[in-house]
Amino acid sequence: MIRLQEVSVTYDIGTIFQSTALKSVSLEIRNGEIVSIVGRIGSGKSTLIQLFNGLIPPDSGEVIVDGIDVNAKNTDLKIIRRKVGLVFQYPEEQFFAETVFDEVAFGPRNMGVSGNELVQRVHYALSDMGFNPETVSNLSPFNLSGGEKRRVAIASIIAMNPDTIVLDEPTSGLDYLNKKMLISYLKRENAKGETLVFVTHNMEEVLEIADRVIAMKKGEKIFDGSTENFFFNGNFVELAGLDAPFLVKAQRRLRKRYSNFPFCRTVDEFLKLLKERYS
Amino acid sequence: MIRFESVYFAYEKEKWAVENLNFKIKKGEFVALLGSNGSGKSTIARLTDGLLLPNKGNVFVDGINSKDSPNILKSKVGIVFQNPDDQFVGTTVEEDIAFGLENLNIERKEAHRRVYEITKRLGIFRYLKSSPSMLSGGEKQKVAIAGVLAMQPDYLVLDEITALLDPVSRKEIFNLVYTIVKESNIGVLYITHISEEVLPVERIILVSNGKKIKEGGSEEIFSDYKLLESVGVSVPAIFKVYSFLKNGLDVTSHELSESILLNKL
């Protein structure tokens, strides 16, 4: 579990560039959840996730991971980073290894894993991301397609066996098929018990997979609750400066007409319901 | 007119990135090229302005064969890519846009007028003295578009210009470009993998593995869900709802708007 207690972050303190990235934010990420962090550019969402594994320290407040104060003097950040894996935006831009195997093995090797266990972990992570480990291991990661590169990059975090995977815009730049594939693999990770946190401005994805939404605006948390409440109880999407997808607008309309209209995550689910019960 | 005549292109021997491609774009027409990653879209973009030359077949722009004079093509066809950061040359927005004009030997006064006009039109006038690198993704892309439009090309190729933007900026950029181009007499090839974007476009060319799969209006293109799925392109949610409600509607898929549909729900 990750807990933030009244955390504030200010960049460039004491200079004319001083800017507050986070203002007294408290939140919890509970085990097994899929949480989406949303907001426009500059809302503080990327700063937020860098706190989760101690990549940056807060100026005030506490970050607690499984009871450990991440920023306490005697905390070994390696332990935190084994618990919380961070996947940056466009992670494939940081590829360096000559083979897919070495790329994915880098993290666990750094943690002292070797031999059979290393091979097992790499293979496990690659198959979790939809690859046949035998055929892909010896390829150069640079020769893969955009969608495959992204999945190798995520596999390299999975191979470190974190309890929580935090992803910054995981589907950014991917086309429909690659997005769909990645989302289904991530859902499968979650079904196996992995906690997922993903930062996005794509509201369709939030609607489709998130259990809970945390919405940020100008460094402040303006919403923290179920995905259904985020979209349908008030106008938090608009408050966060985001655009409600058509499917949300359509459901809002039907909810006005039928007070018990169920929550639909996809357009197919929505149309099926319309056909069967409301036409 | 841009005319692709049985065009083949391969980066590696016998592996066609573009295969037997035929299509035409007239001046003033806005045509979308829709396909998944790796479908050959960017290769087609580069063939259109003479950056790449066909191995077989011909690309003509206003009757000029790209094989004969690729440089004339480059002056007739403006191109904007996915990542604006790769395209900036000036230290300020103004310099950046003026740079292309200087290269065309446009007189200073005229260049000034064009920069002024185009930045006003695109809503980036207030950034003239700013560094392009300080702008947001959407604004950067506007600068890149301004730079190309200022050169007054006859045709424009827009290669995934919204792919890296957030949904709000994406809509804004598309609508802006669509309106500006419709007002002018520029022929446009709008390349994208995002199907929602091309709903209002009257002619869409669907490509997969370097081949044209289908060409037509959004109604024809999007009605075949199975075909789209098989080439890795999504059916827009709004189109699915439209198809469901179709009998109660008196609009075509081109005129489709969220509010029309919502009123029928």
pLDDT 10s digits, B115-163: 999 999 999 999 999 998 888 888 999 999 999 999 999 999 999 999 8
pLDDT of residue B167: 82
Q: Most A CBs within 10 Å: which of B15, B33, B36, as the mutation test of the A interface? A: B36
Q: Is A173 on the interface with B (CB under 8 A)?
A: yes
B223 and B243 in contact (C-beta within 8 Å)? yes
**Alpha carbons B228 and B220: distance in angstroms, whole number:** 11
How confident is the model over B36-65, as pLDDT tens digits? 988 999 999 999 989 999 999 999 999 999
Number of domains in chain B: 1
Report which of residues B181 and A99 the model is more confident about: A99
**Alpha carbons A104 and A121: distance in angstroms, whole number:** 9
Nearest residue of A to residue B36, measured between CA atoms: A175
A249 vs B36, B244, B258: nearest CB: B258
pLDDT of residue B25: 96
Tokens of B94: 């103004």
Q: Is B152 domain-assigned?
A: yes
**Nearest CA distance, A68 vs chain B (angstrom):** 36
Q: Is B97 domain-assigned?
A: yes
**Alpha carbons A104 and A97: distance in angstroms, whole number:** 9
**Nearest CA distance, A172 vs chain B (angstrom):** 7
Q: Is B43 domain-assigned?
A: no
Please state the pTM of the whole predicted model. Answer: 0.87
Which residues does chain A have within 8 Å of residue B137's beta carbon, measured at their own beta carbons?
41
Which residues does chain B have within 8 Å of residue A145's beta carbon, measured at their own beta carbons?
37-38
Which residues have a Cβ under 8 Å from the Cβ of B161 and sit 6 or more positions away? B80, B81, B82, B141, B144, B145, B173, B177
Q: Is B8 domain-assigned?
A: no
pLDDT of residue A42: 83
Q: What percent of chain A has pLDDT over 90?
A: 84
Q: Is B255 domain-assigned?
A: yes
Q: Is B93 domain-assigned?
A: yes
Which single residue is written with the structure tokens 């996730």?
A49
Q: Is B234 domain-assigned?
A: yes
Long-range contacts of A177-184 (CB under 8 A, 24+ apart): A177/A147, A177/B36, A177/B232, A178/A145, A178/A146, A178/A147, A178/A150, A178/B37, A179/A205, A181/A130, A181/A147, A181/A151, A182/A147, A182/A150, A182/A151, A182/A154, A183/A208, A183/A209
A267 vs B38, B163, B241: nearest CB: B241
How confident is the model over A86-142, as pLDDT tens digits? 999 889 988 999 999 999 999 999 999 999 999 999 999 999 999 999 999 999 999
Q: Is B175 domain-assigned?
A: yes
CATH of the domain at B110: 3.40.50.300
Which residues have a Cβ under 8 Å from the Cβ of A74 and sit 6 or more positions away? none
Which residues constitute the domain of residue B135?
29-36+77-261
A165 and A194 in contact (C-beta within 8 Å)? yes
Tokens of B234: 């999504």
From the list B182, B198, B238, the residue with the least C-alpha distance to B41 is B198
